[in-house]
């Protein structure tokens, strides 16, 4: 009886481990395009077929990491107030691999200056 318990436990552990091993990661950094400095608190969205499937926010050093992601091709978008949206298309995610994506964001001078159409 103990023998069957060990076999079943081993099979369950093997299946659960295999399912975790079939995911990848997108990580990287968001920087200011002009001065190459990191941009903290940018919102990162991972899109698949036009739908958001995951997201994160950059840390104080502009770094982010999003996992687990199923293998496939994703679009990575960065949004931050005062900057133009940055988009990288076709980022390939493979099993047990990290895809490194640096997003460069350009300052949107009209938004930063507070310019509006009101007199």
Q: What's the pLDDT tens digit per position in 86-112?
A: 999 999 999 999 999 999 999 987 655
CATH superfamily for 23-109 is Carboxypeptidase-like, regulatory domain (2.60.40.1120)
Cβ-contact 55, 47 below 8 angstroms: no
pTM attached to this predicted model: 0.75
Alpha-carbon span 116 to 55, nearest angstrom: 30
Report how far Cα 22 is from the mean position of its chain's Cα atoms: 17
Alpha-carbon span 13 to 85, nearest angstrom: 43
- CA torsion sign for 20, 99, 71, 104 is positive
**Segments of the chain scoring below 50 in pLDDT:** 4-6, 11, 14-19
Tokens 């990491």 -> residue? 65
Q: Where are the domains of the chain?
A: 23-109
């Amino acid at each position: 009886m103990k023998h069957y318990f060990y076999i079943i436990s081993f099979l369950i552990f093997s299946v659960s481990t295999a399912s975790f091993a079939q995911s990848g990661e997108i990580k990287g950094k968001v920087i200011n395009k002009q001065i190459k400095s990191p941009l903290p608190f940018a919102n990162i969205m991972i899109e698949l077929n036009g739908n958001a499937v995951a997201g994160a926010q950059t840390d104080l050093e502009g770094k982010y990491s999003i996992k687990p992601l199923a293998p496939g091709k994703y679009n990575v978008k960065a949004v931050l107030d005062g900057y133009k949206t940055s988009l990288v298309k076709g980022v390939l995610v493979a099993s047990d691999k990290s895809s490194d994506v640096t997003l460069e964001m350009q300052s949107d001078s009209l938004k930063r200056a507070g310019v509006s159409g009101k007199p």
